[in-house]
């Protein structure tokens, strides 16, 4: 199955997006027959296709509707909010599909929280009925949760007792780290199938308020307006329409306007070439809005985001990504200066935040990433983040004798000093030099300076420097060696090395929770023929290996 992450509200099958001034509504109305596989999406349960639409809607609200200050996430079905991830989908999907599904849904919910934190677009969950598993986890991503008090509506995380797995979309972490639920109460909550309702849900901090049916709609609107009052988004003005992303794809390449991916299936590599700017930046934020989705930076981020999602979902045996850039570094620096000078404009803020989220998606992807700094490249500022995000960076000393291109250079700008933090809330430079403030200070002093290979190596910004004679042989050996290793071991190694420093909500979700879920998904207690995922709904009790490990 080939998954396409491009969509549009006109093609939504599972969500209804409506906008009325400062408020928007995201109504969940899942088409039971609209699953990506042979499963029925009953009771507003969801699969990857449902979440692709949700991700698209969140993006459009941020870019196309600057006037929207609060978003109500609700169900359009009676007495049910969302039953969570579809169990049959989880039961019959191969392991990589389960893991990719959980990762994408995590990223989407993190994006909702980022919209609130970064964009001033606040989210309210209006639970008109039961919210179980991933349905409650969707609510947990919102700023405020209102639960109807109708005598039966509950919130629940029943994965452990019912399915032998964990809540897969950050639920455990958000309970204790975001909503500050006591550990003992969280333990009880996560081990009861029926969930919690009414005043107890408020007392345990699982929801913010419970409201009788007669006042539910009125209260939801009132709370949404209160959230909107805290926003600094503009009251009006044109947005940026996210026009269809053009892409041409064959068995060996994927081509966007500003990005190209070349696939080598024998070596199991994808070479991602990001083209630098073909235009100077606009004069101000209004100029960026006027250029719209065709502007170089926004178009490039959208292409990179789509390429990452496509490769990790549809090209699973391509284990190593080689990242290159090509273009004028001075133009990249000019765009960085524009971003920094106009960061208080809503549209500029959104572009920076989108670049941040896309780079984080690269950090979170289970692929080896090598950056290649070659003649004619433009690893400067915001594009230098691609090199800083790589597991290794190789830089050519000088140029290629038969190619008339500028020698390889690396340049840092203010965009590398904080506007694009990782999941650990540190810049990639601060992460690279964690615990070494002296080295970080020396590198920060090099901002806005062109660094050749020797200077970049001395500054500890690259891994290896080779001349033209050794370049191809050394790269070939490195790639062949990487391809010979266990992909599972590489995934574990890379993810453990990428996030030194403080632990945050995001690093806990992608490091601790996702790693445990990945392991649990492979265990017979969950996915074996007698495991909980396979026997759910059959009337048969699962057979567990009772050994604790």
Residue 80 has pLDDT above 90, yes or no: yes
Per the CB < 8 A criterion, the answer to whether 71 and 123 are in contact is: yes
User: What percent of the chain stands above pLDDT 90?
Assistant: 96
pLDDT number for residue 489: 94
Which two tokens mark 60?
A: 């459009």
Per the CB < 8 A criterion, the answer to whether 18 and 27 are in contact is: yes
User: What percent of the chain stands above pLDDT 70?
Assistant: 100
Place of tokens 């949760």: 145
The rounded distance, in Å, linking the Cα atoms of 315 and 261 is: 12
The rounded distance, in Å, linking the Cα atoms of 454 and 464 is: 10
The rounded distance, in Å, linking the Cα atoms of 196 and 153 is: 8
The rounded distance, in Å, linking the Cα atoms of 323 and 320 is: 10
pLDDT number for residue 402: 85
Mean pLDDT of the region 68-74: 98
pLDDT number for residue 77: 97
What's the pLDDT tens digit per position in 214-262? 999 999 999 999 999 999 999 998 999 999 999 999 999 999 999 999 9
Per the CB < 8 A criterion, the answer to whether 383 and 364 are in contact is: no
Question: For the whole prediction, is pTM greater than 0.85?
Answer: yes
pLDDT number for residue 453: 97
Per the CB < 8 A criterion, the answer to whether 429 and 500 are in contact is: no
- Dihedral of the alpha carbons of 384, 385, 391, 396, in degrees to the nearest 10: 0
> DSSP secondary structure string, 503-542?
--HHHIIIIIIHHHHHHHHHSHHHHSTTSHHHHTTTTPPP
What's the pLDDT tens digit per position in 422-447? 999 999 999 999 999 999 999 999 99
Mean pLDDT of the region 361-376: 97
pLDDT number for residue 512: 84
Domains of the chain and any CATH numbers: 14-228 (3.90.226.10), 252-491 (3.90.226.10)
Instruction: Report the 10 Å Cβ neighbour count for 237.
Output: 12
Beta strands in 96-195 (DSSP E): 122-127, 130-132, 144-149, 154-156
| Nearest by Cα to 103 from 533, 509, 503, 428 | 509
Contacts of 326 (CB under 8 A, 6+ apart): 273, 274, 275, 276, 376, 377, 378
Could you tell me the end-to-end alpha-carbon distance of the chain, in angstroms, rounded to an integer?
35
The rounded distance, in Å, linking the Cα atoms of 468 and 465 is: 10
Computed on alpha carbons and rounded to an integer, the radius of gyration of the chain in Å comes to 24
What's the pLDDT tens digit per position in 10-44? 999 999 999 999 999 999 999 999 999 999 999 99
Residue 266 has pLDDT above 80, yes or no: yes
Q: Where residue 403 falls among pLDDT bands split at 50, 70, 90?
A: confident
What's the pLDDT tens digit per position in 152-184? 999 999 999 999 999 989 999 999 999 999 999
pLDDT number for residue 134: 97
């Amino acid at each position: 199955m080939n998954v396409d992450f491009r969509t549009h509200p006109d093609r939504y099958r599972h969500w209804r997006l409506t906008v009325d001034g400062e408020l928007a509504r995201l109504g969940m109305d899942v088409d039971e027959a609209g699953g990506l596989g042979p499963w029925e999406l009953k009771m507003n349960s969801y699969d990857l296709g449902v979440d692709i639409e949700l991700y698209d809607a969140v993006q459009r609200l941020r870019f196309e509707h600057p006037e929207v200050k609060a978003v109500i996430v609700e169900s359009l079905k009676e007495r049910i909010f969302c039953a969570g991830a579809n169990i049959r989908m989880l039961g019959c999907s191969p392991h990589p599909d389960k893991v990719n599904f959980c990762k994408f849904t995590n990223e989407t919910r993190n994006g909702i929280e980022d919209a609130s934190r970064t964009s001033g677009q606040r989210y309210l969950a209006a639970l008109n009925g039961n919210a179980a598993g991933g349905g409650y986890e969707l609510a947990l991503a919102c700023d405020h949760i209102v639960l109807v008090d109708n005598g039966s509506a509950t919130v629940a995380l029943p994965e452990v007792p019912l399915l032998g797995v964990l809540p897969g979309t950050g639920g455990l972490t958000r309970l204790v780290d975001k909503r500050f639920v006591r550990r003992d109460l969280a333990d009880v909550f996560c081990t009861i199938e029926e969930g919690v309702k009414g005043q107890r849900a408020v007392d345990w901090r699982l929801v913010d308020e419970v409201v009788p049916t007669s006042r539910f709609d009125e209260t939801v609107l009132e709370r949404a307006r209160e959230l909107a009052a805290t926003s600094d988004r503009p009251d009006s003005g044109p947005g940026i329409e996210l026009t269809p992303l053009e892409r041409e794809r064959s068995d060996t390449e994927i081509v966007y306007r500003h990005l190209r991916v070349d696939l080598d299936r024998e070596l199991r590599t994808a070479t991602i070439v990001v083209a630098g700017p073909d235009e100077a930046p606009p004069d101000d934020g209004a100029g960026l809005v006027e250029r719209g989705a065709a502007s170089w930076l926004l178009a490039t981020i959208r292409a990179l985001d789509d390429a990452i999602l496509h490769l990790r979902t549809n090209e699973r045996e391509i284990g190593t990504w080689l990242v290159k850039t090509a273009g004028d570094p001075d133009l990249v620096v000019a765009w960085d200066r524009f971003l920094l000078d106009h960061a208080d404009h809503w549209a500029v803020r959104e572009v920076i935040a989108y670049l941040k989220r896309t780079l984080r998606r690269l950090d979170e992807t289970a692929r080896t990433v090598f950056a290649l700094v070659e003649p004619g490249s433009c690893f400067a500022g915001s594009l230098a983040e691609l090199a800083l995000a790589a597991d290794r960076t190789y830089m050519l000393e000088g140029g290629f004798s038969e190619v008339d291109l500028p020698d390889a250079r690396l340049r840092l700008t203010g965009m590398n000093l904080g506007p694009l933090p990782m999941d650990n809330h540190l810049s990639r430079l601060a992460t690279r030099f964690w615990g070494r403030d002296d080295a970080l200070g020396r590198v920060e002093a090099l901002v806005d300076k062109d660094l050749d290979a020797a200077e970049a190596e001395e500054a500890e910004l690259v891994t290896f420097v080779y001349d033209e004679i050794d370049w191809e042989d050394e790269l070939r050996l490195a790639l062949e060696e990487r391809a010979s290793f266990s992909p599972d071991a590489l995934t574990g190694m890379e993810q453990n090395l990428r996030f030194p420093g403080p632990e945050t909500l995001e690093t806990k979700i992608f490091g601790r929770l996702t790693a445990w879920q990945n392991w649990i998904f492979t265990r017979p207690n969950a996915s074996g023929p007698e495991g909980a995922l396979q026997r759910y709904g059959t009337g048969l009790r699962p057979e567990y290996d009772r050994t604790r490990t």
